[in-house]
Amino acid sequence: MGTFIGHVYPGLFLFLYGLYQAVVISKAIIFSDSLLYPSSPPRNKGRCARLWKISYGGLLKMATGSLLTVYEVSCIKGGLILMNRELPPRFMYPKEWQHLTMFILLTLNGCVDFMSKNVLPQRCVGLEKGTLVLIIYQLLLLMVSHAKDSEGVELHVHSLLILVVFLLLLVLTAQLWAPNMCHLQLMETFLILTMGSWLMQAGFILYRPVSGYPWQDDDISDIMFVTTFFCWHVMIDASFLLGIYGFSSFWYHCYNPSLKLTRPKEAPYYASTPGPLYKLLQEVEQSEKEDQALLLAKCST
């Protein structure tokens, strides 16, 4: 029961957080707003403006990580001890300690986000992104070692989850140099959605199958359908992302009359003054026109 909840609840949090990120990115794309410093509504002043600037994502991470940490500790009868008293001493509950470490990392990430946005005098985006990349690096290492003791269906489920975490790590590492790039933010949100939905699915596959019968490790069809289910999750999560953007765009266009005033003006074709090469081409073109006019004059005479 504890392992089932340890998969489903973190997956649900990641999925809901991904949906929240998708709404924020859709708003930023539609209004051409900054992804890192979103503008607050013009009517928000005073207390409302302060509430708008609160890092709700950081608070959600801290609350979820703390609750999962308490739950993981309370699930072990006799307490979550590190080593037994036998000789030689042996480490106890290795997977539970890894789960606990993951939940603590989530809590620390929420603390960093909240401090950067609401405690420090100026927001430090580099600190937020760097901490998140470091945490995902540790998460990847924990998950790789977490899958060492598994085989068959469980190994395949965890391998697909590790693939998503690895791709997320690459995207977050690229964001260290381009934190405000919309394409990277969309990829991050999509991978978070996929990670959350697949983590929930892993809980049902491994600990509470819908059919009531456990999956068979020696049945190749079960392993093949794990991959099929993963592909379905990818398609469904992409549809969620596309649907949120489409609904947000339709809502803002139909019910927000100020949208037309905030749409960015179309940039001119030439954003800078003509350079020397452009002037030289103009001079060559002008001389060719003069030569053609002179040749036509001679032919007419």
**DSSP letters for 126-173:** HHHHHHHHHHHHHHHHHHHHHGGG--HHHHHHHHHHHHHHHHHHHHHH
Q: What is the mean pLDDT of residues 58-62?
A: 87
pLDDT at 2: 52
What are 79's two structure tokens?
């307490």
Q: What pLDDT does residue 174 have?
A: 92
Query: With 90 as the cut, is the pLDDT of residue 282 above it?
Result: no
pLDDT of residue 3 exceeding 80: no
Determine the pLDDT at residue 260.
47
| Token couple for 46 | 């005073």
Residues 6+ apart with CB under 8 A from 49: 40
Nearest to 146 by CA among 1, 5, 6: 6
Predicted TM-score (pTM) of the model is: 0.77
Question: pLDDT class for 86, splitting at 50, 70, 90?
Answer: confident
Answer with the residue of higher pLDDT: 223 or 262: 223
How buried is 148 (Cβ within 10 angstroms: 0-12 exposed, 13-18 middle, 19+ buried)? exposed
- Say yes or no to pLDDT of 31 above 80: no
Mean pLDDT of 81-104: 83
Predicted local confidence at residue 78, as pLDDT: 73
Q: Which of 93-102, 159-168, 226-235 has the lowest mean pLDDT?
A: 93-102
107 to 13, 28, 100, 111: CA distances (angstroms): 13, 27, 11, 6
On whether the CB atoms of residues 155 and 147 are closer than 8 A, the answer is yes
pLDDT band at 265 (very low <50, low <70, confident <90, very high): very low
Residue 58 contacts by C-beta under 8 Å, 6 or more apart in sequence? 109, 110, 111, 112, 113, 114, 117, 118
Mean pLDDT value across residues 251-261: 61
Q: Is the pLDDT of residue 263 over 50?
A: no
Average pLDDT over residues 170-174: 93
Mean pLDDT score of the chain: 79
Confidence grade of residue 296 (pLDDT, cut at 50, 70, 90): low
- Residue 288 has a pLDDT of 60
* Confidence bin at 298 (pLDDT 50/70/90): low
Q: How many CA atoms lie within 13 A of 186 on its CB side?
A: 14
pLDDT at 297 over 70: no
